[in-house]
Structure 1
Amino acid sequence: MTTIKKIQLGQNGPLVSKLGLGCMRMSSVWGGSTPDETESIATIQSALDSGINFLNTGDFYGAGHNELLVGKAIKGRRDDAFISVKFGALFHNAQWLGLDLRPVAIKNFINYSLTRLGIETIDLYQPCRMDGSVPVEDIIGTIADLIKEGKVRYIGVSEITADQLREANQIHPISVLEMGYSLADRQVESELFPAAKEMGIAVAAFANTAEGLLTGNMKAPLADNDHHLHFSRFQGDNLIKNLEKVEVLKALANDKQVTPTQIAIAWVNMQGDYIMPLVSMSRRSRLQENTAAMNIEFTTSEIELLNTTFTPGAILGGTYLQR
């Protein structure tokens, strides 16, 4: 069994598993069916058994369904899990409505989350993004007040600029920055990640396979009802040219007798001791492959191949990460 290494969250924060479990896909967020709850709960519990204790959820995942699910999975073993909760996004019938980051809303959201999770304190609480409608000092200051009340332990931020990160960290120490990051999405390397490293802030990096592009399973053209077609990265010539890059990834994976997904996770993992791959899973069958990726090593020539093939901007078109 793979031994999961630890990562420190913030300069004085706790040690947690360097591989995080993203629970979003265990609920219906963008519409569609909800995965089997029994299997989802078993996946969370198996992850905890294997040493993965960082569980990431959001109060808007499945309109609270995801928090209820996580609550069932950790019942009786609260001390085994480090719970990260995002808030602020508003959905109705799987449609994005916007954000509500007002202090009064945050104070309301937290109580619903605690009730659904069945816990007294959330380990990491973070706005899902900033939109400028509410000052950063009001958002972070409100969470800091929740820490004083004993409802939150640490503060995180998500999908934020380097300047916003510095501002937030001056108001209260930030423990975790959550951002989409992969071979296909490297724009955060220029300013944001160096700022996080400079301030001693850990990074929880989600979307390691760039919404499935780097799995090696995608073929052009996509079916007319494929939700990926909402994003320019997966449309027309963009997808064809992007999949040409993925062929390099597939060939390297074949040479190393691993999967392209494992290569994608391993590359993120080796970008720094302060970076945690946050991998979404809803089936136990994915655990062994994803945890094994944490032990994959690359030669200098392999790293050069990946970095030159997937230079920042090499993948054409955007995804919701740039929304």
Structure 2
Amino acid sequence: MKNIQKIQLAHHGPLVSGLGLGCMRMSSIWGGPVPDERESIATIHEALDHGINFLNTGDFYGAGHNEMLIGKAIRDRRDDAFISVKFGAVFHNGQPIGMELRPVSIKNFVNYSLTRLGIETIDLYQPSRMDGSVPVEDIIGTVADLIREGKVRHIGVSEITADQLRQANSIYPVTALEIGYSLADRQIEHDLLPAAKELGIGVIAFANTAEGLLTGELKLPLAEHDYRNHFSRFQGKNLIHNVEKAEVLKNLAVRKGCSPTQLAIAWVKAQGDHIMPLVSMSRRSRLPENIAAMDMVLTAEEMNQLDTAFAAGEIWGDTYLQR
């Protein structure tokens, strides 16, 4: 495997790897089992070896487990890693129960994150979602204060509206927008993506395979305790329709000699030089496939086929992205 090329977040932002490593699945998801920690750490190390320096976590992933895991992995490799941390989501017994975005809480959260990660400064710090419970200026202003204190380097935002993005950027320059984006989730193309491009803000695009829908490996029926059962996209007639729609991606992948996952990642990458696919992995075996996707080139005909098959409304039902 060769090293990943770099992209710049924001006009004058940091250089980071063009492919990001989402570490969420290295911890318990929605109350599920915890993956093999040794394999997760080995995955982080191998990603760093190939120039994937953008490591994404949240202080609520596994109730802090994820940050402690990353802390172990980068203990002797801090300079190799760019650490992105989300905050604000509150969980109980593995289930989300709300948001906590008050300035006093943010100042508390950051200190716990720094301790668990074993670092002095978080590279990118961002509210995981803004629900209107706290004014945007209070949230962004608090993170700006943390930058002045040396605890944070850059401000990010996640899962917000175009208006919120503009407001946040007017308070303090936003370096990156983290948002779900895939062939199956294109609602942000109308206003949020254009706003980010206009403002010169980098885009960290997660859920590129739409929670496994676009991998070509989704097995029906879903297991009884599969967290996706909570979302209408993965229920009843919606699920049957969506799996059939995903066959378009599988067929094109066969003709192109690649996997549907690679096509899904390549499509996201092709949407702009300021967009980074953020891919969740917990096993080293996933790295070669995902790295190779970054070199794939889609022809105009292939792009048109995908854009037509996965136009807005072609995938039925909602996920947590529309929560």
TM score, norm. by length of structure 1: 0.99
The offset of 1:228, in angstroms, is 1.6
Query: In 1, Cα distance between the equivalents of 2:223 and 2:300?
Result: 38
Within 5 Å, give how 1:192-271 maps onto structure 2: 192-271=192-271
User: Which amino acid in 2 is paired with 1:94?
Assistant: G
Query: In 2, Cα distance between the equivalents of 1:58 and 1:233?
Result: 25
Report the counterpart of residue 175 of structure 1 in structure 2. 175
Report the counterpart of residue 54 of structure 1 in structure 2. 54
The offset of 1:240, in angstroms, is 1.2
8 Å contact from structure 1 (residues 23, 55) kept in 2: yes
User: Which amino acid in 1 is paired with 2:137?
Assistant: E
8 Å contact from structure 1 (residues 202, 274) kept in 2: yes
8 Å contact from structure 1 (residues 130, 160) kept in 2: yes
Query: In 2, Cα distance between the equivalents of 1:317 and 1:199?
Result: 31
8 Å contact from structure 2 (residues 8, 202) kept in 1: yes
Query: In 1, Cα distance between the equivalents of 2:238 and 2:177?
Result: 30
Report the counterpart of residue 98 of structure 2 in structure 1. 98
8 Å contact from structure 1 (residues 221, 236) kept in 2: no
Within 5 Å, give how 1:101-116 maps onto structure 2: 101-116=101-116
Percent of aligned pairs sharing the same letter: 74
Alpha-carbon displacement from aligned partner over 1:215-270 (angstroms, at most 9, x marks no partner): 00114433333322211111111111111211110011011111101100010011
RMSD of aligned Cα (Å): 0.9
Report the counterpart of residue 71 of structure 1 in structure 2. 71
Q: Does 2:136 correspond to 1:144?
A: no
Report the counterpart of residue 294 of structure 2 in structure 1. 294
User: Which amino acid in 2 is paired with 1:33?
Assistant: P
Q: Which moved more, 1:9-18 or 1:186-195?
A: 9-18
Query: In 2, Cα distance between the equivalents of 1:137 and 1:169?
Result: 10
Query: In 2, Cα distance between the equivalents of 1:207 and 1:236?
Result: 22
Query: In 1, Cα distance between the equivalents of 2:213 and 2:268?
Result: 15
- Partner SS, residue 179 of structure 1: strand
User: Which amino acid in 1 is paired with 2:5?
Assistant: K
Report the counterpart of residue 313 of structure 1 in structure 2. 313
Structure 1 runs of 4+ off > 2 angstroms? 219-227
The offset of 1:207, in angstroms, is 0.3
Query: In 1, Cα distance between the equivalents of 2:138 and 2:264?
Result: 37
- Partner SS, residue 125 of structure 1: strand
8 Å contact from structure 2 (residues 30, 227) kept in 1: no
TM score, norm. by length of structure 2: 0.99
8 Å contact from structure 1 (residues 183, 264) kept in 2: yes
Give the gaps of 5 or more residues in structure 1. Answer: none
Within 5 Å, give how 1:18-57 maps onto structure 2: 18-57=18-57
Q: Which moved more, 1:188-197 or 1:217-226?
A: 217-226
